[in-house]
Amino acid sequence: MDDVLSHSGKVLAVRGAVVDVTFASGDIPAIKDALRIDTSDAALVLEVQAQLDARTVRAIALQSTAGLRRGTSVAAIGGPIEVPVGDAVLGRLLDVMGNAGDGKGPVAEQAPHRGIHQAPAPLHSRAAPSELFHTGIKVIDLLTPLAQGGKAAMFGGAGVGKTVLVMELIHAMVSGYNGISVFSGIGERSREGHEMLLEMTEAGVLDQTVLVYGQMNEPPGARWRVPMTALTIAEHFRDQDCRNVLLLMDNVFRFVQAGAEVSGLLGRLPSRVGYQPTLATEVAQLQERISSGPEASVTAIEAVYVPADDFTDPAVIAIAGHVDSMVVLSRAMAADGMYPAVDPIASSSVLLDPLIVGQEHVDVANEVRRAIEHYRELQDVISLLGMEELGREDRQMVERARRLQRFLTQPFAVTEAMTGIPGRSVAREDTIAGCRAILDGVADDWDEASLYLIGGLDEARAKEEAAAHREAHA
């Protein structure tokens, strides 16, 4: 932060995380400017949210206000919160203020600093995403392809596997990705942060990663601003160093939730379902900053909690409108053991276009969707009357759809410790070829279990041959 403090005021009132500050002169700080209070323990930082009159501002505290008294001196910084950026933050775990929390000492003082509130890049300087981002996860590469420089979101309720999927994407990408990774933990549990730190260390990629956390127990102001800190670091690598950045956010819904808490603390009337009236604006301010420049790209992968599995929730709709690829996780599929529990019908991507992925890929993806959708339409009939009541064509379609569903499951490297099954990564061409073979009836005589939790179709073929060999020698 800038040491030059423009002018000072005094604390007028403290109501939890909301602090009113009065200034003697009429020159009061602007909205989003930072204020600093030097206490005996550490500096307390506030962010101005409203100008109440010619001398008074209302601010939100980014740390605990316990012990703060009226009359305490407050210094206006003269600009927004600034955080360290550049090579000095690589391999570090930071909080919303850019302070290190990994026990390795403070970030180097000579590191460049940048304000967390930046204008989005102008439209004419943005590059359109066109190069595919291969993940090695069959269902994503086939049905919801991701783009380098694009935005993808994993939508799902509690306990359906969002964080596991994001962790697997990190694991899949660090091996073949030569850029910088910036992970933003928004309202995360400390356990998840600790697991992420260990994962990055064991993978040997921590030196190319920045972890930025606003934990669940922190005030709403910290959780609300932590993605801005992560974005600021990512923008510096994109603009100044011209390096590609992989930006991971878990969980964007907590950002909306923190904004709703802040809005309530500031006394604004709630809007639909109790959300803040500024919901669409806040989500847009975050999402529109995620963009690629002419020299380097920012690829965003976001986990989004869906409250009560309600995909019509205003927060979910607001976030979904900004992403290129929507990966929707289904509780019903998770209950059936279909992991990853990606819903092939509800998930979508603007990149599933013949001009980007090729005609064959689009044709296979559409046929897979059609087969699974047809199976779902017939499920009530099957559960009531059994498969025997279906016509020959319908029965064949249902059997192939069930095999496709199992083929699109996959063991993950990050779950190997729990399942005992080594993770698999499958090339996009092998996924397309495998689905095409199943649609053409190659696997009609195979046991469904041979296709469950495998990599490519060759693995299922080997299982079938091994089973046939055992039967022959039984």
Place of tokens 């289904």: 330
> HSE (CB half, 13 Å, CA atoms) of 243?
19
Q: Which residues are CB-neighbours of 133 under 8 A, at least 6 positions away?
A: 145, 146, 147, 148, 150, 173, 299
Q: Which residues are CB-neighbours of 44 under 8 A, at least 6 positions away?
A: 36, 37, 38, 61, 63, 65, 68
State the catalytic residue, choosing from 189, 288, 373, 389: 189
Among this protein's residues, is 189 annotated catalytic?
Answer: yes
State the catalytic residue, choosing from 47, 82, 188, 399: 188
Among this protein's residues, is 32 annotated catalytic?
Answer: no
Residue 181: closest CA among 212, 136, 219: 212
The 3-state DSSP class for residue 373 equals: helix
Tokens of 104: 């390795």
Tokens of 357: 């992925």
Burial state string for 63-88 with b = 16 or more CB within 10 A and e = fewer than 16: bebeebeeebebbbbebbbbbbbbee
State the catalytic residue, choosing from 138, 151, 162, 254: 162
Tokens of 169: 């994407």
Tokens of 232: 């600021």
Residue 414 carries which side chain, given as an amino acid letter?
Answer: V
The 3-state DSSP class for residue 242 equals: coil
Query: Catalytic amino acids?
Result: 162, 188-189
